[in-house]
Structure 1
Amino acid sequence: MSLATNLRHELAATIGSQSWQAAVEVVPRELFLGDAVYRHEPEHGWVPVHRSDMSRDDWLALAYTDETWVTQIDGVMAEDATDPVALLRPTSSSTLPGLVVRMLEAAEIREGDKVLEIGTGTGYSTALMCQRLGNDAVTSIEYDPIVAGRAREAITAAGYAPTLVEGDGLYGYAENAEYDRLIATCSVRTIPQAWPQQVRAGGTITTPMSGWMGETAFAHLTVAGDGTARGRFLEDDLYFMTARSHLPPPRPPLVSGVGDARKSRIDPSTLQGGTALWVAQLAVPQAQVSWGGDATFVVDVGTGSRAETRQDLAGGWTVRQHGRVKLWDEVENAIETWQDAGQPHQSGFGLTVTRERQWVWLGEPGGPSWDLPA
């Protein structure tokens, strides 16, 4: 048995259900990493690691480590980079296989299903689905033409032939509809209107959802016969890169000491991450959050509204708000509603999607709710 085969079996034994383990044992992940990946080093940034600079055994060991390997930074493929890249944003990666399998399991994909994948990426997850479901059952869309071309080469080299589409996955792919499962390997702010229209009644949409404050929840929705969809957020805490058209705009410069002052009812450090930040994001979906020194800033790019909180020497916090939208009022109200409900994880919330609006609800569909941006 070859080293690659041994490593695939060892990796498969550590992740997922038996059905997906069988696929992991077969699909050669090394083909999907191309000729180089980026490795993050705190002192240098994103450092390109080229296959040509490693032994074959070392490259295979890297490929079959259950880790995410970034393959593109701000549009630059790792194989085209010669020097470390700092302060730029990863734009494509080979997600760690354990997380890929968790995503496929959460989508409840099984034999006989017809699947639309939004975000081909390197093509590794596409190949896993082809291995289990067959080529004709899998359609995958990739926005970036360079990433799409590399994925096509790798998928073909691995012996698979799904429908591969270069385009904007937010529009789905109506030509092969209807689908039993739609699965997104990128995060979205809202569910694109095309998605429920291309999934059969009783089919599902599984996607990470993130907002402009950077926190994510994992939605699993069932589509109804009228094209609406409803479901809950799952317990998995996972992160996928955000669809490029759903990324936040550049944040304006932070200005301190502006606006009417009052005492804050909540501790701003609550917004450092986790479900509390996600709830704040629901309350003010057009806003971004930043920290500077002892201050927390919330800025609405669209209206120019802003809030700034600082700790008082005598205890507590002072908030200053400026602009048409009282951002901190909205954040406080949402956080207090969540706290009164026992501070549940994102899985304590659900989502309803219609043609007219989308809203997240707490507890049950009739509970407190927040509209997602149109």
Structure 2
Amino acid sequence: MPADPIPLRAALAEEIGSASPTLEPGWRDAVAAVPRELFLGSIVFRMTGAGWEPVHRAQVGEDEWLRMVYSDRTWVTQVDEIDAADATGPVSGSPTSSATLPSLVLRTAQVAGLRPGQKVLEVGTGTGYSTAVLCQRLGADNIVSIEYDPGLAASAATHLSNAGYTPTLAVGDGLQGCKEYADYDAIVATCSVRSIPPSWFWQLNDGGSITTTISGWMLASGMIRLELDDEGTAHGRFTDDTITYMLARPHERPPAPVFLRQDGTTRSTHLDPGLVELWAGRFVAQLAAPSAELMNSGSGIILRDTATGSQAWTEGDGRTWTVHQHGPLRLWDQVEEALQAWQDAGAPNLTEFGMTATPYEQTIWIGSPAGPSWRLPI
């Protein structure tokens, strides 16, 4: 007899609730109610040694498929804009859409402090699963969801209809918000952004909130809920989560040429470059060099600035380190100064970081707005 999805759904909800004691029961109940199997189609990607390999429902069998569906994990459904259903074999590249792990969907909703009766804009419909969870908890009449990819939007609309949910759906660039249905009590992004898009501020009700993950081209991120004050400035502090969403497509890194090391100038560095491998350390490095991407060289790190071609790379023996810098930007100088400020502040985790933001200027700081701070690219 095929596996029954209902007890699997209930078990997943119980697993998430047990791991998150502060989770409101209503969100756990939403996971127990939403049929996730209706949002995954019949093919997903799984990472293997050959790349992103399509996994077919018919090949693994119904029991295994449902166990996959009701595991608390992300299932990638698109890689570099290639849908899993269109893949004839393993593909390489970066995921561009997925069915996010349910615990992250609920964690984001919990951080957002969403309540029944609030009008919510979800940026990034994806498969529609997170949209369904919001509908189940808050009511479909309160949910507007916008998706950048027309194909994904059409699939999500079908999934939601089949599951019995009727939110307001739109197709377009979610970084522009969704003006035709504004204003919103809360905006929740299921994608990461390099900075808060100005349109999101302008489409919020007084006292509204924005919940998103701030990320960048070093792929370190911090989840934050920002609340709008009477003067139109948003304030908030980051959570301690070390999980993230994919970057919004317009905020993604531009294609880069093959990396070739350039010696440039050389000096010793008194800070261990390995600090950049720590989550908060990498977040700080990203703030200091927002247009740089990070690579690992095996014996050190490599920074490459996508705007100017500047680069920095380090080498060392575990006790001393040397940095080579080339180009108009001294990338390691920028990163080293920021890391030193972070260490002088006690090397705190992201809960000690906060953000002050307007449509025109956005700053992340440590401790308080008077502490060490960095401006985001807008």
Please tell me the TM-score bracket, short chain as reference: over 0.9
CA distance in 2, matches of 1:60, 1:254: 43
User: Partner residue of 1:27?
Assistant: 34
CA distance in 2, matches of 1:101, 1:355: 28
Q: Which amino acid aligns with 2:171?
A: E
Give me the identity figure in percent: 49
User: Partner residue of 2:21?
Assistant: none
User: Partner residue of 1:344?
Assistant: 348
User: Partner residue of 2:88?
Assistant: 82
Correspondence 1:146-225 to 2 at 5 A: 146-225=151-230
Q: Which amino acid aligns with 2:41?
A: G
CA distance in 1, matches of 2:174, 2:228: 18
Shift of 1:257: 4.7
Q: 1:54-81: per-residue Cα shift (whole Å, max 9, x none)?
A: 4333222221111111111111111222
Shift of 1:324: 2.2
User: Partner residue of 2:73?
Assistant: 67
CA distance in 1, matches of 2:317, 2:54: 46
Shift of 1:132: 1.5
Q: 1:172-218: per-residue Cα shift (whole Å, max 9, x none)?
A: 01122121111000000000001111111222111011111111111
Correspondence 1:30-45 to 2 at 5 A: 30-41=37-48, 43-45=49-51
CA distance in 1, matches of 2:329, 2:84: 43
Structure 1 residues 59 and 255: alpha-carbon distance in aligned structure 2, compared to 1, 3 A threshold: closer
Q: 1:299-329: per-residue Cα shift (whole Å, max 9, x none)?
A: 212122222222169x511222222222111
User: Partner residue of 1:94?
Assistant: 99
Q: Is the CA contact 1:200–1:225 (under 8 Å) kept in the aligned structure 2?
A: no
Correspondence 1:215-254 to 2 at 5 A: 215-254=220-259
Q: Which amino acid aligns with 1:5?
A: I
Q: Which amino acid aligns with 1:163?
A: T
CA distance in 1, matches of 2:239, 2:120: 20
Structure 1 residues 252 and 295: alpha-carbon distance in aligned structure 2, compared to 1, 3 A threshold: farther
Structure 1 residues 312 and 101: alpha-carbon distance in aligned structure 2, compared to 1, 3 A threshold: closer
Task: Report the count of equivalent residues.
Answer: 370
Shift of 1:235: 1.5
Helix, strand or coil at the partner of 1:299: strand
Q: Is the CA contact 1:312–1:318 (under 8 Å) kept in the aligned structure 2?
A: no
Structure 2 unaligned runs (5+)? 18-23
Correspondence 1:190-339 to 2 at 5 A: 190-311=195-316, 315-339=319-343
Match 2:133 to one of 128, 137, 157: 128
CA distance in 1, matches of 2:295, 2:13: 40
Helix, strand or coil at the partner of 1:13: helix
**1:48 has 2:51 as partner:** no
**1:360 has 2:361 as partner:** no
CA distance in 2, matches of 1:303, 1:36: 41
Shift of 1:296: 2.2
CA RMSD between the two structures: 1.6
CA distance in 2, matches of 1:303, 1:38: 35
User: Partner residue of 2:20?
Assistant: none
Helix, strand or coil at the partner of 1:110: coil
Q: Which amino acid aligns with 1:363?
A: G
CA distance in 1, matches of 2:298, 2:72: 36
Q: Is the CA contact 2:122–2:131 (under 8 Å) kept in the aligned structure 1?
A: yes
Q: Is the CA contact 1:305–1:326 (under 8 Å) kept in the aligned structure 2?
A: yes
Shift of 1:150: 0.7
**1:140 has 2:145 as partner:** yes
CA distance in 2, matches of 1:355, 1:74: 30
User: Partner residue of 1:18?
Assistant: 25
CA distance in 2, matches of 1:255, 1:54: 43
CA distance in 1, matches of 2:278, 2:268: 22
Q: Is the CA contact 2:188–2:211 (under 8 Å) kept in the aligned structure 1?
A: yes
CA distance in 2, matches of 1:323, 1:45: 34
Q: Which amino acid aligns with 1:64?
A: Y
Q: 1:140-165: per-residue Cα shift (whole Å, max 9, x none)?
A: 01101111111000001101111101
TM-score for the superposition, normalised by structure 2: 0.94
CA distance in 2, matches of 1:251, 1:259: 20
Shift of 1:349: 0.7
CA distance in 2, matches of 1:18, 1:111: 13
CA distance in 2, matches of 1:25, 1:261: 58
CA distance in 2, matches of 1:229, 1:59: 43
User: Partner residue of 1:107?
Assistant: 112
Q: List structure 1 runs of 4+ shifted beyond 4 angstroms.
A: none
TM-score for the superposition, normalised by structure 1: 0.95
